[in-house]
Amino acid sequence: MARKRQNRLPPPGPETASAPDDDAPIYARIRDEFAAKIATGKLKDGSKLPTVRELAKERSINPMTVSRAYRELAERGFITARPGSGSYVSRPGRNAANGRAQTTAEPSIDPGGISSRLFELARAPGVIAFTGNYPSVEMSDAAAFARCLQESLARGATEYFRYDPPAGREELREALLPFLAEHGIVTRADDLIVTSGGQQGMDIVARHLLARGDRVILEQPAYFGAINVVRAAGAVPIPLRFGPNGFDLNEVADAIRKHNPRLIIINPTFQNPTGHSVPLDQRRGLVDLARENGIPILEDDPSPELRFRGQPLPPLRALPGGNEVVYYTRGFGKTFIPGVRLGFLLPPRGGLHGCLEIKATTDLQSPALLQGALADYLRRTDWQTYLKRLRLGYGERQEELFDILTATLGEYGSLALPDGGLNLWLELPGEISAREVYFNAVRRGVAFAVADSFSFRPERPSALRIAFGLTDPKDYAEGASRLAHVLRNVVSPQRSLSSAVV
Ligand SMILES: Cc1ncc(COP(=O)(O)O)c(C=O)c1O
């Protein structure tokens, strides 16, 4: 059984944080001020914002400054500009990027663009960002990969400038076999499709299997990229409650009976966002249920190697019968080389052809030069030694951050220590709005992802995903202190500590 420390946190220490965003540019402060008002409902859907000229005059600032703030609010889906009429708070249920109506409730922070928001926050000056759930370039094997890339080029670039087959370069598919075998997955190179990351693998499976209105069992909370592919296919997610002990198989059986789902999506190891893993008996039970009912499983498994303690768990695809029902996908960014944008998809028997057609329709093939370098990396690099180093480094960081958070944040939440992965999941008492915490925290100079972004239900859990892949350990204490300040003084100034215990 995995070691799980489920802590009730002690009261917060004295406030130490200052408010660094006083130095933020004026347009950014206006943008964040309106975004917070919209997200917290102080500005209602459909209400009109002051015109650029009015606001500029009221605050004695340049109209260009207001224009820029409004433009960024529009890009992030908070407002819609109606030519000749003004700017209005966007109605929920519209996708900011393309104006399409959504089939289910939208995440209310940065709809449609949470990943770009997290990306921006991770680089914003003065912000201590707990937003990156992948290894930093310094910690990762980027240098070894860069050498492979240079050597691939030195051998002659022209071979990479032709079109390759949509399934990907054979040398890479071959090189993947020993890698998969280490996870208990035995397959053939011809059964694999090289993808542009695990995200593309998920999208291909959703497009291959789902039609508008189909039901999909999806863990709740879930990685927003999984929610997005279900929505993009016009399918309807059916929630499967996911917690420290995985999920309840009876709930899956009920959902199958009631909803006749077309697909089950699961991220079973160090799940994003919670960090929890599905125990072995549930993995077996899920594969059995899927086989009995003829329902495919999409297994999203980006970082099983990031285990700091406990026994490794086999992927669903490696279990008996897994090769009949499981579409297994992963990328290399979460463990090996962030940003390489390569991954693979292993469909079950019968699924290969349809998935290949979609891969070809989407982008013909993933970049050949990167594929060549990755094949080289997998063949020649001692990635087991690298993984040991990575586990050691991040395991220490995880424990250090966990200890600091439990000591600093007071009785505001419940924090679990997962066996691996780069996320901690802080559950707040129900009466604290995670959204409100988020907007105030960003202004205070600390960022993380909020539970709303991982939810497709109208009722949003109150929780924060604290990811530490990119955060300098020197900043842990200050980041925790800023967050404690927000929880104590901004969100719940009147609340007594004892009422905030979960
Ligand atoms: C759970 C999960 N699955 C899949 C992905 C996609 O990863 P990539 O496309 O970089 O392989 C991510 C990225 O954040 C993730 O967290």
Confidence class for position 74, pLDDT limits 50, 70, 90: confident
**CA nearest 269: which of 283, 286, 287?**
283
Task: Give, as one character, the DSSP assignment of residue 306.
Answer: -
List pLDDT tens digits, range 405-446. Answer: 999 987 788 999 999 999 999 999 888 888 888 888 888 899
Whether 469 and 132 have beta carbons less than 8 Å apart is answered as: yes
Task: Give, as one character, the DSSP assignment of residue 299.
Answer: E
Q: Cα–Cα distance between 394 and 415 in angstroms, integer? A: 18
Query: Residue 83 has what pLDDT?
Result: 74
Query: Residue 32 has what pLDDT?
Result: 74
| Region at 270 (left for phi over 0; alpha for psi -120 to 50; beta for the rest) | left
Distance 331 CA to ligand 1 centre (A): 7
- Tell me if residue 457 falls in helix, strand or coil: coil
Ligand 1 contact, 343 CB (< 6 A): yes
286-300, 362-376, 427-441: least confidently modelled range: 427-441
Ligand 1 contact, 273 CB (< 6 A): no
Distance 334 CA to ligand 1 centre (A): 7
Domains belonging to the chain, first-starting first, are 7-136+388-500 (3.90.1150.10), 142-380 (3.40.640.10)
Ligand 1 contact, 344 CB (< 6 A): no
Confidence class for position 323, pLDDT limits 50, 70, 90: very high
Confidence class for position 474, pLDDT limits 50, 70, 90: very high
Query: Residue 114 has what pLDDT?
Result: 63
Query: Residue 443 has what pLDDT?
Result: 81
Give residues with Cβ within 8 angstroms of 34, minimum separation 6.
Answer: 43, 49, 69, 73, 78, 79
Ordered DSSP codes for 160-196: GSS---TT--HHHHHHHHHHHHTTT----GGG-EEES
Distance 339 CA to ligand 1 centre (A): 11
Q: Which residue has the higher pLDDT, 392 or 71?
A: 392
How big is the CA angle at 242 (ends 453 and 197), to the nearest 5 degrees? 55
Query: Residue 115 has what pLDDT?
Result: 63
List pLDDT tens digits, range 341-354. Answer: 999 999 998 999 99
Q: Which residue has the higher pLDDT, 362 or 104?
A: 362
Distance 423 CA to ligand 1 centre (A): 13
Q: Which amino acid is at 457?
A: R
Q: Cα–Cα distance between 237 and 91 in angstroms, integer? A: 21
Q: Note the pTM of the prediction, 2 decimals.
A: 0.79
Confidence class for position 339, pLDDT limits 50, 70, 90: confident
Residue 237 pLDDT > 90: yes
Query: Residue 77 has what pLDDT?
Result: 65
Q: Closest ligand 1 atom to the C-alpha of 338?
A: 10
Residue with CA nearest ligand 1 atom 14: 133
Q: Closest ligand 1 atom to the C-alpha of 200?
A: 9
pLDDT above 90 covers a percentage of the chain that reads: 65
Sign of CA dihedral 81, 84, 88, 91: negative
Ligand 1 contact, 299 CB (< 6 A): no
Residue 296 pLDDT > 50: yes
List pLDDT tens digits, range 160-185. Answer: 988 999 999 999 999 999 999 999 99
Distance 422 CA to ligand 1 centre (A): 12
Confidence class for position 101, pLDDT limits 50, 70, 90: very low
118-127, 193-202, 382-391, 400-409: least confidently modelled range: 118-127
Whether 218 and 235 have beta carbons less than 8 Å apart is answered as: no
Q: Which residue has the higher pLDDT, 95 or 155?
A: 155
Q: Which residue has the higher pLDDT, 99 or 334?
A: 334
Ligand 1 contact, 198 CB (< 6 A): yes
Work out the average pLDDT over 7-14: 39
Q: What mean pLDDT, rounded, does the chain reach?
A: 86
Distance 35 CA to ligand 1 centre (A): 27
Distance 445 CA to ligand 1 centre (A): 26
**CA nearest 221: which of 4, 449, 479, 403?**
449
Cis peptide, bond prior to residue 273, ω within 30 of zero? yes
Whether 273 and 283 have beta carbons less than 8 Å apart is answered as: no
Query: Residue 103 has what pLDDT?
Result: 32
Ordered DSSP codes for 208-247: HH--TT-EEEEEES--HHHHHHHHHTT-EEEEEE-BTTB-
Confidence class for position 315, pLDDT limits 50, 70, 90: very high
CB atoms within 10 A of CB 186: 10
Q: Cα–Cα distance between 91 and 38 in angstroms, integer? A: 10
- Any long-range contacts for 70-79 (C-beta under 8 Å, 24+ apart)? 72/27, 72/28, 72/31, 73/31, 73/34, 73/35, 73/38, 75/113, 76/35, 76/110, 76/111, 76/113, 76/117, 77/110, 77/111, 77/112, 77/113, 78/34, 78/35, 78/38, 78/39, 79/34, 79/38, 79/49
Q: Cα–Cα distance between 177 and 344 in angstroms, integer? A: 11
Whether 414 and 8 have beta carbons less than 8 Å apart is answered as: yes
Ligand 1 contact, 333 CB (< 6 A): yes
Joined tokens for residue 374: 């990755």
Task: Give, as one character, the DSSP assignment of residue 461.
Answer: P
Whether 270 and 196 have beta carbons less than 8 Å apart is answered as: no
Angle, helices 383-408/476-485, rounded to nearest 10 degrees: 40
Distance 274 CA to ligand 1 centre (A): 14
Q: Closest ligand 1 atom to the C-alpha of 271?
A: 1
Ligand 1 contact, 132 CB (< 6 A): no
186-200, 303-317, 407-421: least confidently modelled range: 407-421
Query: Residue 490 has what pLDDT?
Result: 60
